[in-house]
Structure 1
Amino acid sequence: MLRVISANLNGIRSAVSKGFLEWLAVQDADFICLQELKAQADNMTADMLNPPGYYGYFHYAEKKGYSGVGVYARRQPLQIIEGLGVPEIDAEGRYLELVYDTLSIISVYLPSGSSGDHRQAAKFVFMEHFFAHLANLVKCGRQVILCGDWNIAHKEIDLKNWKGNLKNSGFLPEERAWLTRVFDEIGWVDVYRRLHPEATGDAYTWWSNRGQAWAKNVGWRIDYQIASPEIAATATTASIYKEQRFSDHAPLTIDYETAL
């Protein structure tokens, strides 16, 4: 079995202060993909860099306290790929890939466009480059699991207040159509949806800090594990952990009946 966790931490230092590493220690995960580190290397403690039993790999943003992705892995990879090869994207620390013989594990953090038109434009630029990358990745010959905060809710069942968000970043028609193309044209699989095709409120992974969204479960499903078809077909269980709150997102855990 292969257990993979995706977790947007909204600041690794904050999440660790809320018990994230203690929780992680009892999850028996093979990979933990992290997003929104909001830290640089000199902010990281030894346990943040390498929790017991894991090797830590990170792609930090150049801007302090911003973005950044990482992966904790039980085994060292053959190769580490940081970024997409696009300088303005890679400066924000949004893509990290660990390459093994038959598998690639990726942590990805798509931009949010909610802070203004300039950031929505940056999000669309990222999506354009990332779509081409996803198309090429399918041809790499390895199985691939992409974990992360994609900042897009795909369908109406993926957020509580879909009618009120039709013109908002994260649920724009162009964003949703792009994600449909990722699945239907390229062939990637939304693993959680494969296992839970009808789930609504139980499927949410992010809640705004405004308006008692958490208490009322006014959430969005924007954190995904998106995989190549062969390994996606081996997925057996998917769960979203809500008993403790480490950030405004909840960790997504999926078990695959495969071996590294």
Structure 2
Amino acid sequence: MGMTQVTGTGWFEVAAFNVNGIRAARRRGFDRWLAERAPEVLAIQELRCGPSDVGEFPGYHAAVDTGSIPGRNGVAILTRQAPAAVRSWALVPPRARGLAAFAHEGRYLEVDLADRPLTVASLYLPKGGLPAHLQRPGSLREKPDGGAKFDRKMGFLAAFGRELERNRRAALRAGREFLLVGDLNVAHLEHDVTNWRPARKMEGFLPEERAWFGSITGPRRLVDVVRALHGDRPGPLTWWSWAGESFTKDVGWRIDHQLATPGLARRALSVTVDKEPAPQQRLSDHAPLVVRYADPG
């Protein structure tokens, strides 16, 4: 993909990548991308396989929660050194009321890095659906469900917001910065969606979802690092439909994020989306989102 591996001191890279199935991504060239990009930390979403099928990642230690739903979900975090601690909902049930029903789905995992005072979390947030009043028979890819998937997602968002606040504060109390990385299935601003006007009635860009994103971010809580680096302009997009010419015409969404506590956000240096040059080279319907951070001192 035309990348050059850079080695040195003074910075490290964190990548977020929804692989849309690790086995399929590997067939398309995931391992080559990983070896060339070589981030210090990689947060993966949608492994979509059982524990025995995740495989090895040469040069990395892998913390994994595949969940218990065959062929769906699953998160992982790869680190150069074995993490100082690993917490998944399968091992440590979430405390926020409303998340217990999601604990077995392989949606959240966090590690304390051994070589830096930082906690990194990988999240795969439910895609959701439309509220009942926006559903029209015959116009959806899926049958109308009376808003059930929308309600389930909103329940997750409310509960996860409380859990996220606890985890962020716990990291800070322990002297660590906190970084939430992954596919949040929510685009926050108009700049995050190519065709944002019609998207206002699509899951992922509904007013309720955007309001939630605003509630968990802010200059004293979690900073949207990518938007801060990229500025007040369209993009950078991270997801394009497999259908049609969305990828070629760069018509997509920014739903993959890195949200950092203010101390870490101030050390963000650059953002890169490793979008492949041609549709036939795509590893996933998402592209890796890479942020470079300056090391303390």
Q: TM-score range by the shorter chain?
A: over 0.9
1:2 matched residue in structure 2: 12
> Does residue 190 of structure 1 match 2:205?
no
**Aligned equivalents of 1:139 and 1:121: distance in 2?**
28
Query: 1:113/1:185 Cα in 2 relative to 1: closer, same or farther (>3 Å)?
Result: farther
**Aligned equivalents of 2:15 and 2:69: distance in 1?**
26
Which is worse superposed, 64-73 or 136-145? 136-145
Among 2, 7, 19, the residue aligned to 2:29: 19
* Structure 1 position 187, deviation (Å): 1.7
Any residues of structure 2 matched to 1:1-260 within 5 Å, and which?
1-45=11-55, 47=56, 51-83=57-89, 85=94, 86-100=99-113, 102-114=117-129, 117-140=147-170, 141=172, 142-184=176-218, 187-201=221-235, 203-243=236-276, 244-258=281-295
TM-score computed with the length of structure 2 as normaliser: 0.82
* Structure 1 position 136, deviation (Å): 1.6
Report if the CA contact (8 A) 1:59-1:68 is conserved.
yes
**Aligned equivalents of 1:137 and 1:146: distance in 2?**
10
**Segments of 4+ moved more than 4 angstroms:** none
**Aligned equivalents of 1:194 and 1:185: distance in 2?**
11
Give SS of 1:130's match. Answer: helix
* Structure 1 position 100, deviation (Å): 3.5
Give SS of 1:26's match. Answer: helix
Give SS of 1:14's match. Answer: helix
5+ residue gaps, structure 2, are: 1-10, 130-141
2:8 matched residue in structure 1: none
**Aligned equivalents of 2:202 and 2:128: distance in 1?**
9
Q: Percent identity?
A: 37
Letter in 1 for 2:256: D
Report if the CA contact (8 A) 2:68-2:104 is conserved.
yes
**Of Structure 1 and Structure 2, which has the larger fraction of its residues in helix?**
1
TM-score computed with the length of structure 1 as normaliser: 0.93
Give SS of 2:167's match. Answer: helix
Report if the CA contact (8 A) 2:110-2:120 is conserved.
yes
Report if the CA contact (8 A) 1:57-1:70 is conserved.
yes
Aligned length: 255
Cα RMSD (Å) of the superposition? 1.7
Which is worse superposed, 177-186 or 57-66? 177-186
Q: What do residues 15-60 of structure 1 show as CA deviations (whole Å, max 9, x unaligned)?
A: 0111111110122311110001101112233x3xxx1110111111
Which is worse superposed, 8-17 or 190-199? 190-199
**Aligned equivalents of 2:206 and 2:18: distance in 1?**
22
5+ residue gaps, structure 1, are: none
Query: 1:33/1:249 Cα in 2 relative to 1: closer, same or farther (>3 Å)?
Result: same
2:137 matched residue in structure 1: none
* Structure 1 position 122, deviation (Å): 1.6
Q: What do residues 182-239 of structure 1 show as CA deviations (whole Å, max 9, x unaligned)?
A: 11386210111111112314x1100122332112211000000111110011010100
